[in-house]
Amino acid sequence: MAITGSGSLAISFYVLVISAAFLHKGAAETVTVDSQNLATDNVSVIEGETATISCRVRDNDDSVIQLLNPNRQTIYFRDVRPLKDSRFQLVNFSDNELRVSLSNVSLSDEGRYVCQLYTDPPQEAYADITVLVPPGSPIIESREDKVSEGNETELTCISMGSKPAASIRWMKGEDELTGETTVEENYDRMFTITSRVRFSVTKEDDGVPVDCIVDHPAVKDLLAQRHLEVLYKPEVKIVVTYPDGLTREGDNLDLTCIAEGKPQPNQINWLRVDEDVPPHAVVTGSDLYIENLNKSYNGTYRCVASNAVGEAYDDYTLYVYDSRAGEGAPQKIDHAVIGGVVAVVMFAILCALIVLGRYFARHKGTYFTHEAKGADDAADADTAIINAEGGHNNTDEKKEYYI
């Protein structure tokens, strides 16, 4: 046999059949390819990683094995490397296996590798090697930095330089959004993926994260995130600082207007609906103060707050009572105490009824009055009356007759 100067081997009497497989850290996707006495694997490997090429022979009768690259150049002839590419290194050589490592895999290494085993007839098997190129970090962009409540916003996510093409998912908080995706293949067989999503926002969306999640077989947990900034009109609430109870003639009234929005309200105004505010009312910022109330001040007082998004208001209805209103009012009845007393009385009555019932049941029977004693044995009415008095027949005692 002779070795050519180009690094490939010319074999006179032997044809070497080799099986090749690229394995990425033991987790590469492989598909076993069998050719008679050979076994090889189709493999996907990530760019820049180290792959392992394994050629396996089931039953070797001393036939020679060699490995060819996609250009049909011999990488290894038995345990000799004629190809001047130091990235290939021998890992194991035996009668049943030729195993070679390839470091720093690049896109140019992709293609079909040939295993040759010289038998009669010669055998060949092929291993297709796919190089995966992970995408770069995604970029998320917004049509506007801030959006007002009720309006629609649009976000765009771009993932560049992947092979094969990546896919993009959208999440707003815990909710998944549906985007429109376009895929563009570049001249270097790389792909650029662009996804857009549109949705309307509310003030509750302020600060909520929106995630652009990129899925690719070469990488996990790749995402870009953007927090929504939503502008909304103020929320207004009037709080009575004084008095705590009824507003009576002669009292003072102190109201505070609480207004929150995004951006913060730049203007707060007090007014009286359908009437003028009392002339001696004092407005200090968000506070309204009226002293020495009288019934002419009755009405609806309104606090109006506004910002760049809009305005909102809250109303307070003032009713001024007589100066002695609420005095001498009956105290509140404690219904719980009344219920307890009624329960105790009812229980006492029930116990008394039970005791009386048991007493009468014990003395139940037939009895005669004193006047009726001896009446049953008397021969006539006179005798019955005599026998009933004292229970004996003494004829000398006083007798009574009835006509």
Beta-carbon contacts of 77 under 8 Å, excluding residues fewer than 6 positions away, are 9, 16, 64, 66
Q: What CA–CA distance (Å, rounded) separates 320 from 371?
A: 83
Residue 192 has pLDDT above 70, yes or no: yes
Least confident of 33-47, 49-63, 356-370, 375-389: 375-389
DSSP run (H or E) holding 62: none
Question: Poorest-confidence range of 129-138, 290-299, 378-387?
Answer: 378-387
- At 156 the pLDDT is 98
pLDDT at 379: 57
Confidence (pLDDT) at 366: 47
Q: What is the DSSP string of 278-340?
A: PTT-EEETTEEEE-S--GGG-EEEEEEEE-SS-EEEEEEEE-PBPTTTTTTPPPPP-HHHHHH
Tell me if 388 sits within 8 A of 370, measured CB to CB: yes
pLDDT at 52 over 90: no
For residue range 223-268, list pLDDT tens digits in order. 999 999 999 999 999 999 999 999 999 999 999 999 999 999 999 9
| Lookup result for tokens 């067989």 | 189
* pLDDT at residue 35, as a whole number: 55
Q: Give the pLDDT band (50/70/90) at residue 80.
A: very high
Residue 352 has phi, psi (to 5 degrees) of -65, -40
pLDDT for the residue numbered 290: 96
What pLDDT sits at residue 325?
Answer: 76
Say yes or no: do domains 38-132 and 233-318 share a fold: yes
Report yes or no: 229 and 189 within 8 Å, Cβ to Cβ.
Answer: no
- Please tell me the class of the 136-228 domain: mainly beta
Answer whether residue 87 shows pLDDT above 90.
Answer: yes
Domain 233-318 coded CATH 2.60.40.10: yes
Q: Which has the closest alpha carbon to 217: 164, 268, 147?
A: 164
Region of poorest pLDDT, from 103-112, 222-231, 391-400: 391-400
pLDDT in tens, 277-328: 999 899 999 999 999 999 999 999 999 999 999 999 999 999 999 988 766 5
* pLDDT for 376 beyond 90: no
H or E element, residue 191: strand 191-200
Rounded mean pLDDT of the chain?
A: 82
Architecture of domain 38-132: Sandwich (2.60)
Residue 351 has what pLDDT?
Answer: 87
Distance CA 4, CA 7 (A): 6
Q: Is the dihedral of CA 199, 200, 204, 207 positive or negative?
A: positive
Distance CA(299)–CA(319), nearest Å, equals: 7
pLDDT surpassing 80 at residue 375 = no
**In the predicted structure, residue 393 carries a pLDDT above the cut 80:** no
Determine if the peptide bond prior to 243 is cis (ω within 30°): yes
Q: What angle (nearest 5°) sits at the alpha carbon of residue 235, between those of residues 232 and 238?
A: 165
- Contact between 45 and 102 under an 8 Å Cβ cutoff? The reply is no
Residue 363: pLDDT band with limits 50, 70, 90: low
One-character DSSP codes across 335-394: HHHHHHHHHHHHHHHHHHHHHHHHHHHHT-S----GGGTTTTT-SSHHHHHHHHTTTS--
pLDDT over 90 (residue 60)? no
Question: What's the pLDDT band for 196 if we cut at 50, 70, 90?
Answer: very high
Pairing of strands 51-57, 65-68: unpaired
Residue 211, helix vs strand vs coil: strand
Q: What pLDDT, on the 0 to 100 scale, is given for residue 16?
A: 29
Q: Which of 20-29, 61-70, 85-94, 357-366 has the lowest mean pLDDT?
A: 20-29
Q: Which helix (H) or strand (E) holds 223?
A: strand 219-227
Structure tokens of 111?
A: 């293609």
pLDDT value for 266: 93
Q: Where are the beta strands (DSSP E) in 69-166?
A: 74-77, 88-93, 97-102, 111-117, 123-132, 139-142, 147-148, 152-162
Collapsing DSSP to helix, strand or coil, 202 comes out as: coil
User: Taking the model in full, what pTM does it have?
Assistant: 0.64
| pLDDT of res. 386 | 55
Residue with tokens 């996990």: 220
Per-domain residue ranges for the chain? 38-132, 136-228, 233-318
CA distance 28 to 102: 14
